[in-house]
Amino acid sequence: LPTRIHKHSSKKSLDQLLKKALNGDRRALSQLMSESENDPKARIRILSRIYWDTGKGHVIGVTGPPGCGKSTLVTQMAKHYRKLGKRIGIVAVDPSSQVTGGALLGDRIRMTELAGDAGVFIRSMATRGHVGGVARATEDLVRILEASSMDYVIVETAGAGQSDVEIKDLTTTTLVVTAPGLGDEIQALKAGLMEIADIFVVNKADKENAELTAQQIHSSIMMSEKKNGWSPRVIKTVATTGQGVTGLMEAIAQHADFANKNQHRRNFQSERVKADMVKALNRYFQDITAAEIANSEAFAKLFSKVRAKKLDPFTAARLLIDQLQE
Ligand SMILES: Nc1nc2c(ncn2[C@@H]2O[C@H](COP(=O)(O)OP(=O)(O)OP(=O)(O)O)[C@@H](O)[C@H]2O)c(=O)[nH]1
Ligand SMILES: [Mg+2]
């Protein structure tokens, strides 16, 4: 574990940390991420420094129902890219582990074979309840990883619905993983996941009914609308042995080519930049301005009026905003 860091580091030490992290120092990278998570001002400083250096890596989302083999598959993918000499960042969003229990620990154990490799950076993130918060925190981590010249960033999410759909915005290629024997596999995918898949993976192909599951997915694809020129692939794998992984990696590379040619990559289109600016504004207000106002004298004055029931909290809030504009 990284050494404990001070909550508010100086600008100078933050700049040094940033420099080290962007040069590939994994320990500095993980400290930088903690700074960004814990200190809103540091976060802004970090993200504003790296903003134009993001969008260069290939971001791959891996989602699907609990226990279908996502982490095992991600480990195989990472090993494949390492053989090609690529640098990889992995963000594992822990699904508060209700179904499999202790999945975070599981991820750590399974990914240890990657842990000693300087070309791989792994960050686990607990969901801490709030879904929107996860997507935001993941976005920050992906940006930091991209800026530190990772060739590939792989994001594993729980497959619980909304967070996966939000994370779709971050990824170039999205894999939706399922496995036979999870009950009604197709039903599990229907909860919003069907639409976001560029590639479907039927993992645990060593089990009975894998072919049937693959066929069901095929027919669902045939029935659904073709999305902007790419028809989703269906690939069978056995993540535990690596069987089928080569085929999967080819499909990912093909999708990356397609995305490059068709400008579906995360680039700096004016729409995206505008959305980023609006998000930045919201976050600035939430994380910094609102807290500063809550600590101000003006707030204290109005609060004493509210407490005396001479004013209600809504009017008080509006008055505080009005004062900002003066
Ligand atoms: N038979 C078989 N078992 C597999 C395969 N892939 C993974 N498993 C096993 O399935 C279990 C769950 O694998 P994980 O990789 O942790 O699955 P996950 O989707 O990451 O799980 P959560 O993160 O908890 O949602 C483990 O015991 C794996 O060893 C496979 O292809 N075949
Ligand atoms: Mg997992």
Q: Ligand 1 mean position to 42 CA, how many Å?
A: 37
Q: What is the model's pLDDT at position 1?
A: 44
Q: What is the model's pLDDT at position 116?
A: 82
The Cβ of residue 88 has, within 10 Å, a number of other Cβ atoms equal to: 25
Residue type (1 letter), 269:
Q
Q: What is the torsion angle, in degrees rounded to the nearest 10, for the CA atoms of residue 80, residue 84, residue 86 and residue 88? A: 10
Q: Is the CB of 236 under 6 A from ligand 1?
A: no
The rounded radius of gyration (Å) of the Cα atoms in the chain is 22
Q: Ligand 2 mean position to 250 CA, how many Å?
A: 23
- What three-state secondary structure class fits 324? helix
Q: Ligand 2 mean position to 317 CA, how many Å?
A: 43
Q: Ligand 1 mean position to 80 CA, how many Å?
A: 18
Q: What is the model's pLDDT at position 105?
A: 47
Closest ligand 1 atom, residue 158 Cα: 25
Q: Is the CB of 239 under 6 A from ligand 1?
A: yes
The distance of Cα 218 from the centroid of its chain, to the nearest Å, equals 27
**121-176 per-position pLDDT tens digit:** 999 877 655 556 677 788 899 999 999 989 999 999 876 655 666 677 788 999 99
Q: Whose CA is nearest to atom 3 of ligand 1?
A: 204
Q: Which ligand is nearest to the CA of 243?
A: 1
Which letter does DSSP use for residue 183 in this model?
Answer: S
The Cβ of residue 76 has, within 10 Å, a number of other Cβ atoms equal to: 22
Q: What is the model's pLDDT at position 190?
A: 65
Q: What is the model's pLDDT at position 100?
A: 45
Q: Ligand 2 mean position to 15 CA, how many Å?
A: 33
Q: Is the CB of 168 under 6 A from ligand 1?
A: no
Handedness of CA 194, 197, 200, 203 (dihedral sign): negative
Q: Is the CB of 197 under 6 A from ligand 1?
A: no
Cα–Cα distance for residue pair 85/326, rounded to 1 Å: 56
Q: Is the CB of 145 under 6 A from ligand 1?
A: no
What pLDDT tens digit does each residue of the chain (326 aa) get?
444 444 556 788 899 999 999 988 999 999 999 999 889 999 999 999 999 988 778 999 998 888 889 999 999 999 999 999 999 999 988 655 444 444 444 454 467 678 788 899 999 877 655 556 677 788 899 999 999 989 999 999 876 655 666 677 788 999 999 998 776 666 666 667 778 899 999 999 999 889 998 998 888 888 777 667 888 999 999 999 999 999 999 999 999 999 888 766 556 778 888 989 999 999 999 999 999 999 999 999 999 999 999 999 999 999 999 988 77
Q: Is the CB of 67 under 6 A from ligand 1?
A: yes
Find tokens 């915005």 and name the residue.
Answer: 169
Burial 30-57 (b: 16+ CB within 10 A, else e): bbbbbbbeebeebbbbbbeebeeebbeb
Q: What is the model's pLDDT at position 317?
A: 96
Q: Is the CB of 178 under 6 A from ligand 1?
A: no
Q: Ligand 2 mean position to 318 CA, how many Å?
A: 45
Residue type (1 letter), 181:
G
Residue type (1 letter), 9:
S
Find tokens 């990472």 and name the residue.
Answer: 78
User: Ligand 1, residues 110, 185, 189, 240: which to mutate, most atoms within 8 A of Cβ?
Assistant: 240
Closest CA to 214 of 244, 240, 174: 244
Cα–Cα distance for residue pair 105/92, rounded to 1 Å: 11
- Concatenate the DSSP letters of all residues of 102-170 into one string: SHHHHHHHHTHHHHT-TTEEEEEEE--S-HHHHHHHHHHHHHHHHHTT-SEEEEE----SHHHHHHHTT
- Which burial class, exposed, middle or buried, applies to 231 when counting CB atoms under 10 A from its CB (0-12, 13-18, 19+)? exposed
241 to each of 185, 204, 236, how far by Cα in Å?
Answer: 22, 10, 12
Q: Ligand 2 mean position to 262 CA, how many Å?
A: 31
**What tokens does 116 get?**
């000693």
Q: Is the CB of 17 under 6 A from ligand 1?
A: no
Q: Is the CB of 240 under 6 A from ligand 1?
A: yes
Q: Is the CB of 180 under 6 A from ligand 1?
A: no
In sequence order, which residues have a C-beta less than 8 Å from that of residue 253 and are 6 or more positions away? none
Q: Ligand 1 mean position to 28 CA, how many Å?
A: 31
